[in-house]
Amino acid sequence: MAFGDLLEKVGSMGLFQIVYVCFLSIPVLMIASHNLIQNFSAAVPEHHCQTSIQMNGTQSNLTQHLHPEDLLKVSIPLDGKQKPEQCLQFTTTQWQLLEGNATLLEVETEPCRDGWVFDDSVFASSIVTEWELVCDLRSLKELAQSLFMAGVLIGALIFGSLSDRCGRRAVLLWSLLMIALMGTGAAFSPSFTIYCFFRFLSGVGLSGLLLNYICLSLEWVPTKFRAIVVSIQAYCSTAGQVILAGLAYWLRDWRWLQLAISLPFFAFFLYSWWLPESARWLIVNNKTEVALRNLKRVAKMNGKKEEGEKISLEMLQLEVAEKSPKASTHSILDLFRTPAMCRISCCLMFVSFSTNFAYFGLSMDLRNFGFSTHLVQMLFGSIDVFAKILCGVMLTFFGRRTVQASSLILAGIFLLANTALPLDMQTFRITLVMLGKGCLSASSLCSYLYSGELFPTVVRQTGMGLTTMMARLGGIVAPMVLMAGDYVAFLPLVIFGGAPIISGVAACFLPEMLNAPLLDTIEEVEDRARRKEIVTIQEKRAEIVIEVIEGTRL
């Protein structure tokens, strides 16, 4: 008996599945907070050199009596926008500037000697203001985000294979505890180095959560509800962006904000002990006794206790014998050994990289849109909600491949179109960027669902770990591309727009999974590909015969 039939017997979409999916979806509300917290915790407020007037080696009393604006005028040069330079000060006090008609010719400047003064009207505290990550140290801010993304990448590499070997539930529990502990540690970090260390480990834990909440959901729900379930969880992830904007507006100190997004994971860890292991994974890995207990538990909760009692250990053992007697021998190399698996793996890797590369490139650059950071975060979260709702509907009617390819290509077009607009058209430019980000959000939703469906059970987590690793590699590279914007302003958008278009074309080579059952073995994936090739050849032959017949008639 196939697992889908077993699931129907115990209740394929009953009370158990509803509660199970809800419990898995609650932590998803906080994923965006950890991904994007640096928009607020690493905010760079207006700043300039700390000014003081020295006379005979001691600070002059003039500093105390001089108006702050006059003190700035005689101590700090102005930039091209007639604002105080952020990283330079005069080597000597320019008293003549206090005279109304005075002008400067060539005056020597030097880097800030005594630190900086930061505007705390919007952000009371950030890692930038606390550890003065400005001027020569400004690249360290991007380093912190890249290290977090590197943690997610390494976590995908570790937890992907580990989940297929040790189970989805065990890795999920460990990941939730790791996020709680490391996130809290980051909030109490005494130095920037320790902060980066905790953020790196938070990323490792977050990767385990990302991999397992979707996989556990897919393996406990029937085929027709997969798109709905993943869409709901994607809405939770997107709603998390709005939650982050609200928390950041309320908590202006970065340590309190970091603590607020980390402490809930202790509660998530405690209630997740109730969640049972995937019965599909247990069967494939010959853990039939545990699978039988879980199936009977599900049947009881779904009001089908009698049907659950009819399932025997022999039935599950027969399923093991038919499906995957060598499930434990699989590794990441199996993703590339056979033609169909290699095509699926390569295409999904490119899709995941491009989607997250462009998505995080836009999400981590909120301050450059000319509006309040909190407002832009709220707008970006809102467009993501709308895009994912639309994507969820389209997945049900048009299929995965069409949605995946079209969302990526449209995202690229919107972002490239943005580069042709003048800088003073800020409203129109941010509208195009929002549309592009919405398409990338839809692509991300489709990608998670598609990956879970295309990889067979024996290497599902290994495959999703690989695609997640590529996604986070895109997140690591994105801040580096943003730094290129300091030299060529339009270059980041050109790169962020070009990558999705190319990957959208690659997505056209993936098999369609609309209303298709989940496969358990690599052999089933290859058989499906061969059947598809045979059907394609037969269709081509039929077309040739029709053309010959029509030519004969003419």
Q: What is the mean pLDDT of residues 354-373?
A: 70
Break the chain down into helix, strand, coil percent, rounded to 5.
75, 5, 25
In this model, does residue 176 exceed pLDDT 90?
yes
Statement: residue 332 has pLDDT above 70: yes
pLDDT of residue 57: 44
Q: How far apart are CA 123 and CA 305, in angstroms?
A: 56
Residue 126 above 50 pLDDT? yes
pTM: 0.70
pLDDT value of position 38? 84
| CB of 220 closer than 8 Å to CB of 17 | yes
∠41-260-171 over CA atoms, to 5°?
100
Interval 513-545: pLDDT, tens:
887 777 878 888 888 888 776 655 555 555 655
Instruction: Write down the pLDDT at residue 547.
Output: 60
> Which DSSP category does 331 fall into?
-
Statement: residue 370 has pLDDT above 70: no
**Which tokens hold the place of 416?**
């490239």
Per the CB < 8 A criterion, the answer to whether 370 and 426 are in contact is yes
CA 193 vs CA 78, 137, 147, 261, 480: distances in Å: 33, 13, 11, 21, 20
Residue type, 33: S
Strand partners, 118: 47
User: What pLDDT is stored for residue 178 in this prediction?
Assistant: 94
Structure tokens at 242: 């709005």
Tokens representing residue 185 in the block: 């540690």
Sequence-distant (6+) residues with CB within 8 A of 449 are: 214, 218, 226, 227, 230, 231, 395, 400
pLDDT of residue 10: 77
Residue 202 to residue 25: CA distance in whole angstroms: 19
pLDDT band (50, 70, 90) for residue 205:
very high
**Listed range (63-72, 123-132, 292-301, 536-545) with the worst mean pLDDT:** 536-545
- Return the DSSP state at 50: -
Condensed to tens digits (0 to 9), the pLDDT of residues 65-114 reads: 566 676 777 777 777 677 788 788 777 776 766 666 656 656 777 888 88
The residue-averaged pLDDT of 151-169 equals 82
Phi, psi of 40 (to 5 degrees): -115, -45
What's the confidence (pLDDT) of residue 199?
93
Number of residues that make up the chain: 554
Distant-in-sequence contacts of 133-142, Cβ < 8 A, 24+ apart: 133/42, 133/192, 134/44, 134/47, 134/86, 134/87, 135/86, 135/87, 135/111, 136/87, 136/111, 138/44, 139/483, 140/192, 141/38, 141/42, 141/44, 142/479, 142/480, 142/482, 142/483
More confident residue, 537 or 274: 274
What six digits make up the tokens of 540? 């081509």
Q: Could you tell me if 350 and 503 are in contact, meaning their C-beta atoms sit under 8 angstroms apart?
A: yes
Beta strands in 192-324 (DSSP E): none
Quick check: helix, strand or coil at residue 115? coil
Pick from 107, 121, 113, 45: which is nearest to 73 by CA?
107
What is the reported pLDDT for 260? 93
Average the pLDDT over 485-508 and give the result.
Answer: 81
The mean of the pLDDT values for the chain is 79
Categorize the per-residue pLDDT at 56 as very low, low, confident or very high, splitting at 50, 70 and 90.
very low
Inter-residue contact 452 to 213 (CB < 8 Å): no
> How far from the centroid of its chain's Cα atoms is residue 345's Cα?
19
Radius of gyration of the chain (CA): 28
C-alpha distances (whole Å) from 518 to each of 161, 450, 459 are 19, 11, 12
Lowest mean pLDDT among 375-384, 388-397, 496-505, 543-552: 543-552
Residue 398 has pLDDT above 80, yes or no: yes
Binning pLDDT at 50, 70 and 90, where does residue 327 land? very low
* pLDDT the model gives residue 181: 95
Q: Which domains, and CATH codes, for the chain?
A: 3-44+130-507 (1.20.1250.20)
pLDDT at 541: 58
How many other C-beta atoms lie within 10 A of the C-beta of residue 400? 23
DSSP symbols for 336-352: TSSHHHHHHHHHHHHHH
Residue 520: which residues within 8 A CB-CB, separation 6 or more? 3, 280, 284, 323, 324, 456, 457, 458
